[in-house]
Structure formats: C-alpha cells, structure tokens
Amino acid sequence: MNPEPSQQVRVNDLTASLEAKKVWEFDSGTKTVCKDVAGQTHATLQSPLGFPSIEAAIVAGDRVALAVDPNVPQIAEVIVGILKTLAMSEAGDIDIVLWDEASDATITAIKDVAGETVSVHKHKSSQRDSLRYLAADVEATPIYLNRLLVDADFVLPVVSSRQIDITGDRDLTGVFPALADSATRLRHQRRVIDAAASQNEEELQIPWLLGVHLIVAVTANDDGVAGEILAGTPDAIRKQLASKNPANDQFTKGQAATSQNASEPTKGDSFPPLADLVIASIDGDQQQQTWANAARALAASSRHVSDEGTIVLWTAIDEPPRGMLARLDDFDEPFSLLDQHVQETQGDENENDFPLWDAQLGAASTFTRVLAEHRVVLRSLLTREQIEPLGVGVIADQSELTRLSQSFVTCGIIRSAQFADGAVDAPHLSGTSDQSDAPSADDDAVADTD
C-alpha cells in the first residue's frame, strides 16, 4: 500500500509534514502584518472608535494608568505608541500595571521604553498595599482591584483582541479578574469550573465602575505578531471586530488540503467537523510561551477535537510547571484541585487576610478538565521528567509529529492558538465543545487531489 502524500504545514517556527488523510488549518484573527506598531498605535489613539482623542479626554494633571495584558503582541512597541500620544496631552503621573503573567523579560522591555518618569508594576493579588476596595458583590463580599487603577483619573486597558471574547459578549478590558485581589480571583475560579454557573453580570460592570471608556486592542496574526491595532470604546471595538469576522467563533473559516483518498464534503456537511487530531501551536515571542497561554490553546482545541480525540500543544515553553499545575496527577477533576489549594493555603493568609495566590491555578484547572476527556501531547523545551507531573504525552520534533499524524483521518491546525480562546475563562463557556459556533468554509475549501 502506497503511503498517503504528506501535507506541509507551519507549526510555530517549524515546518512539519502531516500524513492524516484530511488536514485543514483554521484562520487566525487577521492575515495582516503591522509594519509600524508604535506608529499605528499612536495614529489609532488620535481618532479612536466612538471616543474623542486622548488629548481631548484627559484633563491637565490627570493620573493615567495603563492596565496591560502582557500577551499583547509586540507590547513594548505598543507602549511606545501610547506614551507618544500621552505626551501630547496634559496627563500627570503615568503608571503601567501588568497582569501577573508578565515575564521578567517583558517587564524589562517595557521599563526600557517607558523611561524613568513612568512607573511599571506587576500585579500582586495577595499584597494588601497594592490593592484598593472597588465595590461589593451581590453577597456583600468586597472586590478589590489594583490600587493604581482605582486611584487613577483615566484608565486605559491594553489587551489582545480575541474573537471568542468579541462574539461571546465577554468583558474586553481584561481588568477582571486578572487585576483583582486573590480572594476574588478564587471565587471567580470556582464559578468557572461550576457547570451550572452562568456569566456574572456584576463582573461585567467592573470596568464601568472603574470608569473605563477607552481600550487599545491588538489582533495577532498566524505568526503571533501584531496584525491590526484598534482603539475605541469596548462596544465600538466589539462591533468593528465582529463585522470583520462574522463567524461566531475565533476563526473566520477553515482552510483545508486533503490527501489522495480524502473525500469531498457534500453540501449540508458541517465543515470543518470535529477533528480526530488537533495541533495547536503557540506562536510569537517568549512571553507567549507560558502555561497560561498553553491552557488557552488547550481550551480552544477542546472545542474542535472529537470525543476522545488527541490534542498536540506545540510550544517553546522552558519554565517547569509550578504550584498546583505540577501536581495534576493527584486530581481527576478541577473542583478537587481547587479545594486542595484552598485547604493547603487556608492558614497561610498574609497579615491582611488575602489568601496566597497560585498564578498557575487557572491553567491547572483547564488542564485537569481537558485531560479528563482527551489525550494531550506536549512539545516544549523541557525534559520528560519535568513534564511528567502533568500527565501528558511528550513529543520532541517534527518527525515524531509526522508519525503521530499517520494514525488519524482528520487533523485541524490552530496557529497562534493562545489567542484562540478568551483572555480569561468565563463560566458560561468553559468546557464547551459545541459545533454550533464552528468556523465556516468556502465550498471549495477542500480539494480532492485524485
């Protein structure tokens, strides 16, 4: 029997040959490459969607806080463009507050471009002096946010735009829960893994309570670099991105090439279908190579893989798993993992009664959920011994990926998969694998090579 002809595909910074009978690649948020990230950021802030320019919006002496998702592609260049715009205003002190996912290299890069007059901070969810009371939830439990945001006169979130956030009516600002206190984040995490929970409308009001009216949203392309940059109100950006990507998912269509014996889908078929094998690559610089982003890629893949199918996470992660993520073998479902974390840290609250926060707790919860339903194989820069506690398979190179693909009929590829899921888990979407929001495909997207 002659072997099937292989399909050459890009996976991260490598090219691999896949020998599944039918292979398709999902579109990312954009195919565009932004040639001048700082310049485009500055230009879009001068004429935001649905909002006056920053110069007109800021009053003399206003304290400005940037609430920054460190996973924004080319974030340092984006910051350069924002600071150039702020320099044209009468803004007073400027603070940059980064999610706790920010790597040391990312913090250093931002400090280098920010200069000595702008302060740069990594959020600390358990540190009382870095938090400020914002409001109480429906149960009268206090919600704290980073104090620099609460104290600011003008808050500007800088985020990665993600299509599932756009179409899912989720908060686009990235402020909550990433920049909240540890107790609030733990309550949110419990709601995320509760299958009966729905999206909390109170959480969606937090940006409004903070006074957020303008955001900067950067869309990544297949290579994980900045493709499109928008500034505007959250509603205006939602409408703009939804109009560009009308499909109700993070991808606009499936592109497919088939091997010699693959059959043409007939009219009425749902394409792309759930795949037996999904390969999700994390593309971009080293800031993208984190366990939080691996969890986002895993969550996105779980919506497009068949029951008991296999997911390959192709990464360049070089940091060993820590905290609860390093103990996944001890748990078979997310609730037991979360309960154990709470039990072990119950007596470890600091002097201000904020529980210790495990920055990889959300990733651990996602891995636990998906591993209960699918086989997961990981490519990273770590040793097998370092990965073993995760309970996942290990793949080393392109040749092993090629051999693995021979065992599957269908294969879907997700490039820059860390941007294919939401910035944070939301209760009403966790665990979803419904094809009702599957990306569409042109009638000729699959070609028979006979």
Q: Which pLDDT does position 218 carry in this prediction?
A: 98
Q: What is the mean pLDDT of residues 44-53?
A: 95
What SS3 state is found at 66?
Answer: strand
* Tokens found for residue 105: 């290299």
- The structure tokens 């497009």 sit at 304
| Whether the predicted pLDDT of 442 surpasses 60 | no
What region does 2 belong to: left with phi over 0, alpha with psi -120 to 50, or beta?
beta
Beta bridge mates, 230: 217
How far apart (Å, rounded) are the C-alpha atoms in residues 177 and 423? Answer: 10
In sequence order, the 6+-apart residues with CB closer than 8 A to the CB of 198 are 427, 428
Which architecture characterizes domain 37-241 according to CATH? 3-Layer(aba) Sandwich (3.40)
Inter-residue contact 429 to 168 (CB < 8 Å): yes
Share of the chain above pLDDT 90, in %: 60
Range with lowest mean pLDDT among 134-148, 239-253, 320-334, 386-400: 239-253
Q: Which pLDDT does position 256 carry in this prediction?
A: 41
Inter-residue contact 114 to 79 (CB < 8 Å): yes
Beta bridge mates, 378: 313, 394
Per-state percent for the chain, helix, strand, coil, to nearest 5: 35, 20, 45
Q: Which pLDDT does position 203 carry in this prediction?
A: 75
Dump pLDDT digits (tens) for 417-426: 999 987 765 5
| Whether the predicted pLDDT of 167 surpasses 90 | no
Q: Which pLDDT does position 261 carry in this prediction?
A: 35
* Tokens found for residue 103: 């790597």
| Residue 111 Cα distances to 124, 127, 226, 274, 284, angstroms | 18, 22, 20, 44, 20
Domain locations along the chain: 7-29+246-437, 37-241
What's the pTM value of the predicted model, to 2 decimals? Answer: 0.87
Q: Which pLDDT does position 114 carry in this prediction?
A: 97
Range with lowest mean pLDDT among 342-346, 387-391, 435-439: 435-439
- The structure tokens 């192709």 sit at 314
Mean pLDDT score of the chain, rounded to an integer?
84
**Triad 94, 55, 220: Cα angle to 5°:** 70
How far apart (Å, rounded) are the C-alpha atoms in residues 371 and 391? Answer: 8
Inter-residue contact 122 to 98 (CB < 8 Å): yes
Please name the fold of domain 7-29+246-437. Answer: 2-enoyl-CoA Hydratase; Chain A, domain 1 (3.90.226)
DSSP label at residue 173: S
Burial category of 437 from C-beta neighbours within 10 Å (exposed 0-12, middle 13-18, buried 19 and up): middle
More confident position, 307 or 138: 307
- Helices of type H across 260-394: 291-302, 334-345, 361-371, 384-387
Beta pairing, strands 410-414 & 22-26 = parallel
How far apart (Å, rounded) are the C-alpha atoms in residues 220 and 72? Answer: 8
Dump pLDDT digits (tens) for 322-371: 988 988 887 777 777 887 888 777 655 555 578 889 999 999 999 999 99
Q: Which pLDDT does position 271 carry in this prediction?
A: 60
Highest mean pLDDT among 16-25, 276-285, 397-406, 417-426: 276-285
Q: Which pLDDT does position 344 carry in this prediction?
A: 77
* Tokens found for residue 267: 């009219």
Question: How far is C-alpha 46 from the geometric centre of its chain's CA atoms?
Answer: 27
Beta pairing, strands 375-379 & 94-98 = unpaired
Dump pLDDT digits (tens) for 173-223: 999 999 999 999 988 888 877 755 555 667 778 999 999 999 999 999 999
Q: How many CA atoms lie within 13 A of 136 on its CB side?
A: 4
How far apart (Å, rounded) are the C-alpha atoms in residues 275 and 254? Answer: 12
| Whether the predicted pLDDT of 384 surpasses 70 | yes
Inter-residue contact 394 to 384 (CB < 8 Å): yes
| Whether the predicted pLDDT of 3 surpasses 50 | no
How far apart (Å, rounded) are the C-alpha atoms in residues 87 and 71? Answer: 24
Give me Rg for the CA atoms of the chain: 22
Dump pLDDT digits (tens) for 4-15: 445 665 666 565
Q: What is the mean pLDDT of residues 108-135?
A: 96
